[in-house]
Amino acid sequence: MSLLESLQWHWLWAFVLLPLPLLMRWFSKPVQTEQAALRVSNLQDWSNLQQYDHADANDNRLRLIIASLAWLALVTALARPYQLGDAVAVPTSGRDLLLAVDISGSMQMEDMVIQGMQTDRLKAVKNVVNGFIDQRSGDRLGLILFGTNAYVQAPLTFDRETVRQYLMEAQIGLAGENTAIGDALGLSIKRLLAQPEESRVIILLTDGANTAGEIDPLKAADLAAENKVRVYTVALGADSMVINSLFGSRQVNPSRDLDEGTLTAIAKKTGGAFFRARNYEELQQIYGLIDQLEPTEKDPELYRPQHSLYQWPLASALLLAGLLALMQWLPGFSGGRSGTGFTD
C-alpha cells in the first residue's frame, strides 16, 4: 500500500483555515500613507531607483511565496496526518487470570529459604510469581490483594509490567492482619464475570484460614462454579521449623492454622486443583504446573498501528519561517539591513 493510499487525517477540517490570511487582509483597513515627493539629483539616480524598485518587487514576491508555503505546512501539521500500518494481530489467545494473594499478618512468618537465606512467605511469593508473570504472555492478568479486606490492586490487563510492579510494592498487613478468603474469592469472581466463560481463572494463594470477611469461602466457591470460574488454590507454609531462644530450641508447626480442607473443597467445586507448598522449591513447581494450562483460543483481533506524520510539515513550517526571518537580515535582499546605495 502506497503512502497516499494509507494517508489519513485526524482533523481534516483544519484545512478550512487556509484562506484565513487572505480574509484578514481583505477585511483589514488599508493604512493611509502620505505621498512624499521624490527628489533626485540626476536621471542616473532615478534609473537606479527603478532598478531597486524592481528588485524589491521580486523580493516581496519571493517572501509571499515562502510565507504561503509556511502557512500551508502549518495547517497541514494542524490537521494531524498519519499513516496506517499493516494489520497486526493482538495477542488475545490466552486466559483472563486473576492472582489473589494473601498479605495478612501471618505472611511475615520466616519459614521460607531462598538461596540459603531465611525469608518471609510474601517475599518468596513475590520471587516465584515474578517469574510466573513472565511466562503468561498473551494472558490478561489482574491482581487482588487481601487480608482483613480484599481490594483490586490491578484490574485485568495485558500490561504485565504494571501487575508485576504492584505485586512487588505489596506490604504485609496493608489490607489488615486477618484473612478474608471468601471476600477475596467474591471480588475476583465479580471481576471475571464480564470475560468469556471458558477463560476465567483464579489463582488463590494463602497461608491461613478464613478469619474475616462477610462471604463464606465455600459459598463463594459455589458462586464460582455457577459462573464457570476455575479456582486453583495454593496453601503456603512449612510443616515444621526450629525456633531458637534463650531457653534452647524448639520445633513448631508454623502452618497449624492452615485450612487445607476448605482450600481443597474450593478447588474441587470449581474444577481447579489444590496445591500444597511447604517450601520455596515446591512453590516454584506449583506455579510451573499452573503455567502449563492450555490457553483458550479466542476470535483473533486485528488492529492497524498509526504512525504520526505531523512532525514533518511542522518542521517545514518552522524552517520556512526561519528563512523569512533570515531574509530580513541578508544584505542581498532589498529588505535587508544594507543601504540602497543612494547619496543625497
Residue-level pLDDT at 339: 45
Q: Domain check: are 132 and 157 in the same one?
A: yes
Q: Domain check: are 286 and 248 in the same one?
A: yes
Contacts of 217 (CB under 8 A, 6+ apart): 181, 182, 185, 210, 262, 266
Instruction: Look at residue 296 and tell me if it is in a domain.
Output: no
Q: Domain check: are 61 and 94 in the same one?
A: no
Instruction: Look at residue 56 and tell me if it is in a domain.
Output: yes
Cβ-based burial of 102 (10 A; exposed 0-12, middle 13-18, buried ≥19): buried
Q: Domain check: are 9 and 78 in the same one?
A: yes
Q: Domain check: are 318 and 175 in the same one?
A: no
Chunked in runs of 10, what are the mean pLDDT values of the chain (344 residues)? 73 90 78 53 51 63 88 92 75 77 91 86 91 84 95 92 93 92 95 87 92 94 95 88 64 77 95 90 86 58 76 92 83 52 43
Residue-level pLDDT at 93: 55
Q: Domain check: are 162 and 285 in the same one?
A: yes
Instruction: Look at residue 153 and tell me if it is in a domain.
Output: yes
Residue 336 structural domain: 1-21+42-86+304-344
Residue-level pLDDT at 36: 52
Identify residue 4 by its one-letter amino acid code. Answer: L
Q: Domain check: are 311 and 245 in the same one?
A: no
Residue-level pLDDT at 91: 54
Residue-level pLDDT at 340: 44
Q: Domain check: are 64 and 165 in the same one?
A: no
**Exposure b/e, 125-149, CB count within 10 A at least 16 = b:** bbbbbeebbeebeebbbbbbbbbbb
Q: Domain check: are 108 and 183 in the same one?
A: yes
Estimate the crossing angle of helix 121-134 against helix 160-168, to 10 degrees.
170
Q: Is 338 helix (H, G, I), strand (E, B) or coil?
A: coil
272: domain CATH number is 3.40.50.410
| Number of domains the chain contains | 2
Q: Domain check: are 320 and 192 in the same one?
A: no
Estimate the crossing angle of helix 260-270 against helix 217-226, to 10 degrees.
10
Instruction: Look at residue 69 and tell me if it is in a domain.
Output: yes
Residue-level pLDDT at 296: 47
Residue-level pLDDT at 138: 75
What is the model's pTM?
A: 0.60
Q: Domain check: are 121 and 268 in the same one?
A: yes
Domain limit, last residue, from 265, 290, 315:
290
Instruction: Look at residue 209 and tell me if it is in a domain.
Output: yes
Instruction: Look at residue 194 and tell me if it is in a domain.
Output: yes
Instruction: Look at residue 167 and tell me if it is in a domain.
Output: yes
Instruction: Look at residue 94 and tell me if it is in a domain.
Output: yes
Q: Domain check: are 7 and 137 in the same one?
A: no
Estimate the crossing angle of helix 43-78 against helix 311-327, to 10 degrees.
160
H helix runs in the chain, sequence order: 3-6, 20-27, 43-78, 121-134, 160-168, 181-192, 217-226, 260-270, 280-290, 311-327
